[in-house]
């Protein structure tokens, strides 16, 4: 039996504007409303609406046999509400099908787990509340920003009442083991681990339109063949990817929607295959083994580490400065200040400061709304200084 588990990450950061030295003390608008609106409009048109529509059609057509899981950040939800409420409506509609599950994560898509456990827990709670309010659900599965994971995260997730956590099925943590089983955290008995099958996931997310790839073009029957081969030596195939894969990273004219449209039917042609939501998979399969993971793993780049966000001095000093403000921001009781401080925690801001451009670097460049990592650092630090000034004035 092979259970195929789709999980899609839905996220948009509040990009900051070109905030100059001379704005410090003079300008309160940190975020680039125009750019954020434009990007939201573009991605809505190319990805969110058409993909949601297709997923809904597939669920309806397949009579409940097609199921998917989503994790939607608070930053994306807020921007749907502000700029594109119809996207939120379409997610609500999906949530009524009973074939869609929503996961828990930090509301702000932050790296707070690495810097402040208190802040981390608060953000997870905020996200929980949003899920309750918007979709009337209580997430049971946790996914941390960028699939950042180690034993300690499992412990935190356990404390917060989750029963499973997602992680990257990286070679260096698995060794000879396969990502196609359910595992357990070494340090938290109640936490099962679902590991991303990065090969099959990336075949769709990264290589789909890659002409130099020897499997190009990727078709639904071909992909289903690969899934079928897991029968007999695995229970789950975890296909984890950014939702923007559909229509935004991989374009419609390259056939990504055609692929998605046929894939469920092709996969179910094999009688031992099925689709499950993540908590169904967790319920269905016992953990085969405990994984003991001390060093942090993530789903980024070839290194599967933190270097995309915390790889240079600009990144580490910017994030340190940010979390050093935590106590005073919270003590100030100033809601706007707190909210802005949290929006600045979104991991994307640090990603934009990444300077390891030269291999998978090209991906970074594509996503960078600034002229260079240096420019994004300057804007970010200027904002930090403005916030410090505001904190001083609060006293």
Partner 1 sequence: MKVLMFGWEFPPVSSGGLGTACYGLTKGLSKKNVQVTLVLPEYPENMKAEFARIISTSMISIKKISTVLSPYMNSRSYLEKSKRAASKIYGDTLFDEVRRYAEAAKKIAADEDFDVIHCHDWMTFKAGINAKKIKKKPLIVHVHATEFDRTGGNGINPYVYSIEKDGMNSADSIIAVSNYTKQMIVEKYNISPEKISIVHNAIDFEQEKDSESYGIKKNDKIVLFLGRLTLQKGPDYFIYAAKKVLEHESNVKFVIAGNGDMEHFIIEKVAELGIADKVLFAGFLQGIEVEKAYKMADVYVLSSVSEPFGITPLEAMSNNVPVIVSKNSGVSEVIRHCLLIDFWDINDISNKIISVLRYAPLRETLSENGFCEVKKFSWTDTAKKCIEVYNQNTKKY
Other C-beta atoms lying within 10 Å of the C-beta of residue 82: 13
326's CB contacts (< 8 A; 6+ apart) are 116, 119, 341
Q: Which is nearer to partner 1, 206 or 370 (by Cβ)?
A: 370
Q: Which is nearer to partner 1, 25 or 217 (by Cβ)?
A: 25
11/36 Cα distance (integer angstroms):
12
149 binds partner 1 (CB under 8 A): no
Containing 2, the helix (H) or strand (E) segment is strand 2-10
DSSP state at residue 111: -
Helix, strand, or coil (residue 322): helix
CB of 373 to partner 1, least distance (A): 8
Which is catalytic among the residues 78, 101, 119, 146?
146
CB of 312 to partner 1, least distance (A): 5
Q: Known catalytic residue: 248? A: no
149/295 Cα distance (integer angstroms):
8
Mask 5-44, x = binds partner 1 (CB under 8 A)?
A: ---------------xxx----------------------
Q: Which is nearer to partner 1, 48 or 380 (by Cβ)?
A: 380
Q: Which is nearer to partner 1, 176 or 358 (by Cβ)?
A: 358
Total interface residues for partner 1 by CB under 8 A: 19
Strand partners, 167: 195
- Residues from 298 through 357 that contact partner 1 (CB under 8 A): 312-314, 316-318, 355, 357
Residue 349 CA, distance from chain mean position = 15
Strand partners, 3: 236, 274
Contacting range for partner 1; rule: CB under 8 A; set: 185-193, 221-229, 267-275, 373-381:
373-381
DSSP state at residue 239: E
And the tokens for 136?
A: 């009337």
Q: Which residues form the interface with partner 1 (CB under 8 A)?
A: 20-22, 312-314, 316-318, 355, 357, 371-372, 374-375, 377-378, 381-382
Q: Active-site positions? A: 146
């Amino acid at each position: 039996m092979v259970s195929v588990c789709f999980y899609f990450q839905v996220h948009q950061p509040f990009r900051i504007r070109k905030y100059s030295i001379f704005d410090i003390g003079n300008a309160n608008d940190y975020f680039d409303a125009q750019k954020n609106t434009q990007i939201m409009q573009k991605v809505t048109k190319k990805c969110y609406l058409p993909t949601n529509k297709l997923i809904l059609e597939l669920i309806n057509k397949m009579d409940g046999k097609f199921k998917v899981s989503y994790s939607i950040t608070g930053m994306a939800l807020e921007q749907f509400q502000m700029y594109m409420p119809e996207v939120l409506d379409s997610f609500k509609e999906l949530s009524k099908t009973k074939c869609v599950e929503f996961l828990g994560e930090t509301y702000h898509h932050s790296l707070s787990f690495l810097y402040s456990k208190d802040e981390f827990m608060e953000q997870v709670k905020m996200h929980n509340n949003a899920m309750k309010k918007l979709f009337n659900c209580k997430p049971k599965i946790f996914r941390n920003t960028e699939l950042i994971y180690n034993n300690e995260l499992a412990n935190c997730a356990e404390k917060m009442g989750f029963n499973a956590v997602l992680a990257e099925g990286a070679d260096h943590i698995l060794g000879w083991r396969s990502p196609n089983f359910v595992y357990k955290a070494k340090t938290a008995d109640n936490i099962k681990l679902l590991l991303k099958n990065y090969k099959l996931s990336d075949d769709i997310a990264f290589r789909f339109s890659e002409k130099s790839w020897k499997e190009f073009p990727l078709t639904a029957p071909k992909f289903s063949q690969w899934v079928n081969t897991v029968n007999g030596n695995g229970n789950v195939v975890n296909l984890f990817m950014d939702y923007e894969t559909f229509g935004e990273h991989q374009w419609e004219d390259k056939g990504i929607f055609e692929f998605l449209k046929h894939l469920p039917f092709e996969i179910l042609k094999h009688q031992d295959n099925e689709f499950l939501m993540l908590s169904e998979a967790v319920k269905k399969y016992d953990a085969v083994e405990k994984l003991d993971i001390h060093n942090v793993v993530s789903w980024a780049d070839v290194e599967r580490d933190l270097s995309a966000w915390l790889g240079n001095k600009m990144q580490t000093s910017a994030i340190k400065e940010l979390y050093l403000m935590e106590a005073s921001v919270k003590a100030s009781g100033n809601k706007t200040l707190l909210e802005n401080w949290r929006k600045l925690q979104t991991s994307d801001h640090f990603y934009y400061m990444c300077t390891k451009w030269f291999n998978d670097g090209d991906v970074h460049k594509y996503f960078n709304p600034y002229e260079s990592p240096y420019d994004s650092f300057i804007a970010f630090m200027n904002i930090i200084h403005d916030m410090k000034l505001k904190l001083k004035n609060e006293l």
